[in-house]
Amino acid sequence: MVSERREFAATEQDVRAVAARARIAAADLAPLSTAIKDQALLAMAAAVEDAVLEILAANALDVAAARDAGQSESMVDRLALNPARVAAMAQGVRDVAALADPVGEVVRGYVRPNGLHIQQVRVPLGVVAIVYEARPNVTVDTAALAIKSGNVALLRGSASAYSSNSVLVDVLAAAAEKAGLPRDSIQLVPGTDRASVTHLLKARGLVDVVIPRGGPALIAHVVQNASVPVIETGVGNVHIYVDASADLDMAEAIIVNAKVSRPSVCNAVETILVHRAVADDFVPRITAALLRRDVTVHGDAQFRAADPAVIEATDEDWAVEYVSLDIAAKVVDDIDEAIAHIRQWTTGHSEAIITRDLEASRRFIARMDSAAVLVNASPRFVDGSEFGFGAEIGISTQKLHARGPMALPELTSTTWIVTGTGQIR
């Protein structure tokens, strides 16, 4: 017990030391010009490409350990890298370099009757800590977004990706420092157990904001235990509602894309709702299309009648984010029942309607309470890159400061600049 307490205290010292160095670096990073930041980003991208063999070797260790531990193939997919994914990460950094720098943008400005010039200007948040699971690409995306927006990145990936993240952070940090950024602008938070996360969440005064990115347990732990302000990125229990007026060819194509193209991501569909008016035609059709693609369908009575392979859906199925080739399915009497079901089970990420009825789309949009609402489009588009933002740090499902895909502007705050000529009150 004594040794455990000592280890806990030692971890706290290590984490706070990293955060303290980050705090110092933030003061030097914030005023740097766009040109210097972009030069660093381009150097980071090139360094990732040059280190591809080292990165893949480290990642192979993580993947092997995940399989030995019995992780699901969907989780292994989130963890695994290959040359194409490494190249995509490097290109993502270049894409961020090409984006407009939000720092210094005047959000609003005006002159008061007494002659005071008042401006609200974007500034970096400061020290941004990201706690995330698997997906080593998050390490690179987050570092790039943080640097472009003038923030120091404290990166706390999962233990399952520790080898990959260690190499990636070393590569990125060395390239950034060589290009003129402060030495501690990109850091890996020490430790692989929950204690290091706990200490990071308590580093108020050193860390300006923490962003969790992962499953429900991780997000709940961060939200419930942080004294540092949190921007909550949420679980994606995403719904698609097929309305009575829907183009059924379109509906099938969108649902298949939203489930099968990459089932392990948060913008994949998890539940489909079908209006009873089209259920006789559409339920057998979409069930067959999904089963052909090895999707396990958890359905209500009408879906189960369409094929004996369909599993009976329970309340757990309506609530879960599968991140796998599973989908929940239900027939509803009308749009109001669909809306009520979604509002009961939503995680506030993304919801979609397939319809040719303008009034139905308006009703659906008005009554949803999610970060994104789509009409006749796949929810797989709810992504920073697809929105034209470049790489994203996550999809925020909260309502304060940032909501939806979080890119560069969402990693800034504002300050008020007041310029006078000697005015007194």
Q: Measure the CA–CA gap between 122 and 414, rounded to whole angstroms.
A: 4
DSSP state of 245: T
Percent of the chain clearing pLDDT 90 (strictly above):
80
Instruction: Give domain limits for the chain.
Output: 2-233+393-419, 238-381
Q: Measure the CA–CA gap between 240 and 269, rounded to whole angstroms.
A: 7
- Which residues are 352's β-sheet partners? 240, 374
- The residue with tokens 């430790």 is 191
Question: Tell me, what's the pLDDT at 230?
Answer: 92
Q: Measure the CA–CA gap between 26 and 61, rounded to whole angstroms.
A: 33
Q: Measure the CA–CA gap between 261 and 185, rounded to whole angstroms.
A: 35
DSSP state of 159: G
pLDDT mean across residues, the chain: 93
Contact present, 25 and 185 (Cβ < 8 Å): yes
Place 406 in a pLDDT band, splitting at 50, 70 and 90.
confident
Residue 407 has pLDDT above 90, yes or no: no
- Residue 19: phi, psi to the nearest 5? -65, -35
Residue-level length of the chain: 425
- pLDDT digits 0-9 by tens, 151-210: 999 999 999 999 999 999 999 999 999 999 999 999 999 988 888 999 999 999 999 999
Place 120 in a pLDDT band, splitting at 50, 70 and 90.
very high
Nearest to 187 by CA among 393, 31, 18: 18
Overall average pLDDT of the 144-149 stretch: 96
Overall average pLDDT of the 391-395 stretch: 78
Q: Measure the CA–CA gap between 29 and 26, rounded to whole angstroms.
A: 5
Whether the domain at 2-233+393-419 and the domain at 238-381 fall into the same CATH topology: no
Percent of the chain clearing pLDDT 70 (strictly above):
97
Question: Tell me, what's the pLDDT at 166?
Answer: 97
Question: Tell me, what's the pLDDT at 118?
Answer: 98
Q: Measure the CA–CA gap between 161 and 80, rounded to whole angstroms.
A: 9
Nearest to 151 by CA among 29, 45, 32, 16: 29
Question: Tell me, what's the pLDDT at 8?
Answer: 63
Q: Measure the CA–CA gap between 262 and 268, rounded to whole angstroms.
A: 7
- Note the CATH number of domain 238-381: 3.40.309.10
Q: Measure the CA–CA gap between 268 and 359, rounded to whole angstroms.
A: 26
- pLDDT digits 0-9 by tens, 374-391: 999 999 999 887 888 876
Question: Tell me, what's the pLDDT at 147?
Answer: 97
Going by their DSSP bridges, the two strands 350-354 and 394-396 should be labelled as unpaired
Nearest to 147 by CA among 18, 16, 43: 43
Is the alpha carbon torsion for 199, 202, 208, 211 positive or negative? positive
- Considering only residues 265 and 127, tell me which one the structure prediction assigns the higher pLDDT: 127
pTM confidence score:
0.83
Written as one string, the DSSP assignment of 354-401 is E-S-HHHHHHHHHH--SSEEEESS-GGG-STTTTTS-S-SEEE-SSSS
- Considering only residues 134 and 230, tell me which one the structure prediction assigns the higher pLDDT: 230
Residue 215, CA distances (Å) to 75, 125, 190, 218, 395 in order: 11, 25, 21, 6, 13
- pLDDT digits 0-9 by tens, 266-306: 899 999 999 999 999 999 999 999 999 999 999 999 999 99
Cβ atoms < 10 Å from Cβ of 421:
8
Is the alpha carbon torsion for 35, 129, 77, 56 positive or negative? positive
Q: Which CATH architecture has domain 2-233+393-419?
A: 3-Layer(aba) Sandwich (3.40)
Going by their DSSP bridges, the two strands 117-124 and 412-419 should be labelled as antiparallel
285: burial class by Cβ within 10 Å (0-12, 13-18, 19+)?
Answer: middle
Question: Tell me, what's the pLDDT at 2?
Answer: 55
Overall average pLDDT of the 93-101 stretch: 94
Angle, vertex CA 22, rays to CA 186 and CA 202, nearest 5: 115
- The residue with tokens 């904001």 is 209
Q: Measure the CA–CA gap between 210 and 203, rounded to whole angstroms.
A: 10
Q: Measure the CA–CA gap between 99 and 94, rounded to whole angstroms.
A: 9
- pLDDT digits 0-9 by tens, 3-60: 656 666 678 899 999 999 999 999 999 999 999 999 999 999 999 999 999 999 999 9
